Chain A
Amino acid sequence: MKIAIASGKGGTGKTTISCALALAISDEVTLLDCDVEEPNSHFFIQPEIERLEKTFSLVPEVDAEKCSGCGECGRVCQFSAIISMGKKTMVFNELCHSCGACVRICPEGAIKEVQKKTGLLTIGKKDHIRFVSGRLDVGQAMSPPVIRETLKYASKDGLTIVDCPPGTSCPYVTAVKSCDAALLVTEPTPFGLHDLKLAVETIRELGIPFGVAVNRANGEQNRISEYCEAEGIPLLLQIPEDRRVAVAYSRGQALNKVMPELHETLLSIPVQLQSLTEERKVREQEALV
């Protein structure tokens, strides 16, 4: 099973919870850091690094000798990433989505694809945790290609925890849609609730079963629990507001040591999400019948 740890709002505690889950479980588990713009889970896992792997996207390269300047490539490109001016065809790599349409359309066979480096994967291990962290190169605009490369390291039949990027658009969707279930992390502030609603709306579009975790719960979490109750969303974890947690986080220390009392709850999360996915399967089968 693949579990996405996600949120609309940034800084709610996705990484804290992803790492706490991976550390709490004693069986083999894979942790993928897909927050490739700002990956941080390595601080809390401290993996032994086995190897680094560069990630690439394909971009077109035009053979000026063969190019007739017909402009077909520019016509099919939806992203203005390739343009012919007279006999000269120019490529703007940073706009290219690697769809390959220009290569396929070129009547002269003048375009081939070359690799452009987009990021770096760090691959390692810590005790029972297989660890892969994706990292977008600074200056690169598009994170989904690096996220997709990171996701290739998901475990085939074991448990995978995916630390997702914040937001509700392409990076979030790319990371979450490959998962079987999700835990949406929020905080009991008006911003937290507002962005939770956006994340819920998006995940419902994706049709993935999910629960909610509240971080920095301080007695104000009524607004979150009321919302979850009204929407029929299970509240799977509450981490109380505690300065010790903030200080430990600032030093790169995992939640597990600061709040050992959360251990059983953490262990129950994959179990509860698993049963949500099974309930969904049953409902889908019933719908088919």
Chain B
Amino acid sequence: MKELVIISGKGGTGKTSITASLAALADGPTLADCDVDAADLHLVLEPVVQTSENFISGRAAEIREADCTQCGLCEEVCRFDAIENFTVDLLSCEGCGACVEFCPVKAIDFPEQNCGVWHRSISRHGPMVHARMHPGAENSGKLVSLVRKEARTMAEKENSEFLLVDGPPGIGCPVIASITGADAVLVVSEPTLSGEHDLQRVLELTNHFGVQAMVCINKWDVNPVMTKRIERLAGEQGATAVGRVPYDAAVTAAQVNARALVEESEGEAAQAVRTMWGEICTKMQ
């Protein structure tokens, strides 16, 4: 089983649309959506949920008013400005437990937090693990790790040739949790100054963690000069350029119909994604 993680650095470059197409092109892959902040892959693949479990992770402080002597020590020890007037602001609480530990009358509870929910599902292209963080919840990196672990178990059980992981944007903890130990990443970039800047950072990250990187450029024809610059940058950073996908109105049309582009269209963009998948398979052998 080979694990390919689709990331982008910059958001909104087309990770999920491309992941959905690769899911349709691969032969019976296992799928995982690790963009747990704003998971969208299920909108295209419409998986049927088999099991759902709460994601319990971390704790948060809760002051028992009846036992609190209002000494103010909790407010003093809290580094996150989460305590004011002897009340904890749950959205600011980091779950460090310093106030709980140092409260002289032990008036602070520290219950576990339900941060989200994750599912094992079956989609039309293969089994799928996906999740949803509760609004404003902490520990998205840990949820990503959980989703990947479950998906790997599932891929092995199903004997899938590929595990395709739709990753989060950025370069922070959810991205690090998505790529460490993967066989390869596909970075979906766009031919813009921002795209170039963000690709540089994301390739520094994949190099830092020693993960093989491939790069494709979505909507490459918006700026052909920039496309060349980005492909050169990819090469300099030791990544392989595996495809150029042109701007095509069929991409949005497919999304609206809850279909992958390659299921809907024989157009230029769909052809480009098919060719790219061939490249990726060769590179990952």
Contacts and interface: CB of A to CB of B under 8 A. Distances in A.
Interface stretch (A8-16, A120-128, A266-274): A8-16
A38 B136 contact: no
B58 interface: yes
B197 interface: yes
A209 interface: no
A142 B172 contact: yes
B266 interface: no
Interface string B27-70: 00000000011101001000000000000001100000000000
Given A38-B198, A169-B138, A99 B172 contact: no
Interface in B92-143: 92, 94-98, 101-102, 133, 135-138, 140-141
Contacts of A12: 11-12
B97 to A, nearest CB: 5
B172 A138 contact: no
Contacts of A40: 10, 193-194, 197-198
A11 B11 contact: yes
Interface string A23-40: 000000000000001101
A8 B172 contact: no
Q: Label chain A's interface by main secondary structure.
A: loop
Given A105-B101, A171-B172, A206 B37 contact: no
Interface in B63-89: 77, 79-80
Contact of B136 (A11, A143, A202): A202
A205 B135 CA distance: 8
Contact of B43 (A136, A194, A202): A194
A168 interface: yes
Given A141-B141, A142-B173, A191-B255, A168 B133 contact: yes
Interface string A135-168: 0101111110000000000000000000001111
Contact of B223 (A78, A104, A167, A251): A251
A172 B10 CA distance: 15
Contacts of A15: 194
B201 interface: yes
Contacts of B102: 101, 104
Interface in B171-215: 171-176, 190-195, 197-198, 201, 204-205, 208
A201 B94 contact: no
A76 interface: yes
Contacts of B201: 37-38, 138
B168 interface: yes
A190 interface: yes
Contacts of A194: 38, 40, 43
Contacts of A246: 219, 222
A169 B170 contact: no
Interface in B225-266: 226, 252, 255-256, 258
A78 B43 contact: no
A282 interface: no
Contacts, number: 186
B141 A97 contact: no
Nearest to B209: A139
Contacts of B92: 177
A162 to B, nearest CB: 17
Nearest to A98: B79
A93 B222 CA distance: 42
B44 to A, nearest CB: 8
B16 interface: yes
B191 A250 contact: yes
Contacts of B284: none
Interface string B8-25: 111111001000000000
A167 B10 CA distance: 12
Interface in A235-289: 243, 246-247, 249-252
Interface of B: 8-13, 16, 36-38, 40, 43, 58-59, 77, 79-80, 91-92, 94-98, 101-102, 133, 135-138, 140-141, 168-176, 190-195, 197-198, 201, 204-205, 208, 219, 222-223, 226, 252, 255-256, 258
17 contacts: A9-B11, A38-B198, A43-B197, A99-B97, A100-B98, A101-B102, A143-B172, A166-B37, A167-B37, A167-B169, A168-B133, A189-B255, A191-B40, A205-B135, A247-B223, A249-B192, A252-B192
Interface of A: 8-12, 15, 37-38, 40, 43, 76, 78-79, 97-101, 104-105, 136, 138-143, 165-173, 177, 187, 189-191, 194-195, 198, 201-202, 205-206, 220, 243, 246-247, 249-252
Nearest 8 interchain pairs by C-beta? A10-B11, A11-B12, A99-B96, A167-B37, A37-B170, A202-B135, A141-B173, A250-B192
Given A167-B38, A243-B222, 13 more contacts: A10-B10, A37-B171, A37-B201, A40-B10, A99-B94, A104-B77, A138-B201, A166-B12, A169-B36, A172-B37, A172-B136, A191-B40, A191-B43
